[in-house]
């Protein structure tokens, strides 16, 4: 069991490294291990193997894990209900799924200043599907300006979850759009620490790295299929 977990983990690290080299990049790509629905024992085994950053989607489940391992780096990546912002602001280091200005304002107001800035990303709806969450690309520059003015937050970049597609070319297109959008933000706000592109999951991490992802969020290919029963 643990052998399987650790060998899957090693395979994912190898895939990341291969994609990074194939794309001619010299900058690092961070692996976020997405541990939602998975037991603390799996997290501990990966931490033992050197994994530092873990991603969670459900507040209650995450708080229980964080209480056991406050030494690890915790990223909130799930949909955010506005009545759940307080525990998120108090217990996580990163939030990837900021998809409304109201959520950013609440996180800013509820972040305990003694913890240092909460690192946040704006979620962008790059596939432009009506059902999906995220800011529209054309509103990102205005939102960036407003979010940068909020205390206790550090805006670090963008995140996206594009619609699933099969071919490498089709997978790369929305990732390219996200990268171009981050470039626009960097040009408009050159003083800001806009260095993070959170894009790529189990099925499309290679395409994301080709397009400049600095952080991939991997669940299934490390931990196996999720059981929501």
Using CB under 6 A, list all residues that contact ligand PLP. 34, 36, 57, 77-78, 161, 201-203, 217-221
Nearer to ligand PLP, 87 or 141 (CB): 87
Give the span between the Cα atoms of 127 and 136, in whole angstroms. 9
CB of 81 to ligand PLP, least distance (A): 15
User: How far, in Å, CA of 28 to CA of 155, rounded?
Assistant: 19
CB of 149 to ligand PLP, least distance (A): 26
How far is Cα 144 from Cα 66, in angstroms, rounded to an integer?
Answer: 29
Cβ proximity to ligand PLP: between 72 and 161 the closer is 161
Q: Which is nearer to ligand PLP, 77 or 124 (CB)?
A: 77
- Give the residue at shortest CB distance from ligand PLP: 219
Instruction: State the minimum distance, in angstroms, from the CB of residue 220 to ligand PLP.
Output: 3
Residue 65 burial by CB count (10 A; 0-12/13-18/19+): exposed, middle or buried?
Answer: buried
Of 185, 108, 102, 115, the closest CA to residue 153 belongs to 108
Q: Which uninterrupted H or E stretch holds 26?
A: none
Of 119, 62, 112, nearest in space to 94 by CA: 119
- The most distant pair of C-alpha atoms in the chain lies apart, rounded to whole Å, by 49
**Minimum separation from the CB atom of position 120 to ligand PLP (A):** 14
**For residues 39 and 112, which CB has a smaller minimum distance to ligand PLP in the complex?**
39
**Least Cβ distance, residue 216 to ligand PLP (angstroms):** 8
Nearer to ligand PLP, 191 or 227 (CB): 227
């Amino acid at each position: 069991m643990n052998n399987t977990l650790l060998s899957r983990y090693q395979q994912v690290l190898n895939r990341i490294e291969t994609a990074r080299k194939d794309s001619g990049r010299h900058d690092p790509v961070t692996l976020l291990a997405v541990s939602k629905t998975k037991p603390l024992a799996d997290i501990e085994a990966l931490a033992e193997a050197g994994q530092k950053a873990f991603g969670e989607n459900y507040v209650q489940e995450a708080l229980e894990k964080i209480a056991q391992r406050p030494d690890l780096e915790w990223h909130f990546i799930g949909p955010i209900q506005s009545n759940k912002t307080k525990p998120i602001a108090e217990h996580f280091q990163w939030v990837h799924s900021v998809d409304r200005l109201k959520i950013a304002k609440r996180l800013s107001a509820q972040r305990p200043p003694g913890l240092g800035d909460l690192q946040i990303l704006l979620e962008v709806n790059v596939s432009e599907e009506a059902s999906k969450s995220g800011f529209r690309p054309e509103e990102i520059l205005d939102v960036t300006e407003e979010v940068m003015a909020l205390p206790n937050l550090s805006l670090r970049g963008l995140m996206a979850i594009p619609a699933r597609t099969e071919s490498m070319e089709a997978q790369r297109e929305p990732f390219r759009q996200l990268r171009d959008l981050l470039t626009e933000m960097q040009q408009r706000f050159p003083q800001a620490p806009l260095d993070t592109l959170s894009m790529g999951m189990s099925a499309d991490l290679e395409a994301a790295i080709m397009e400049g992802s600095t952080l991939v969020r991997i669940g299934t290919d490390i931990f196996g299929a999720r059981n929501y029963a």
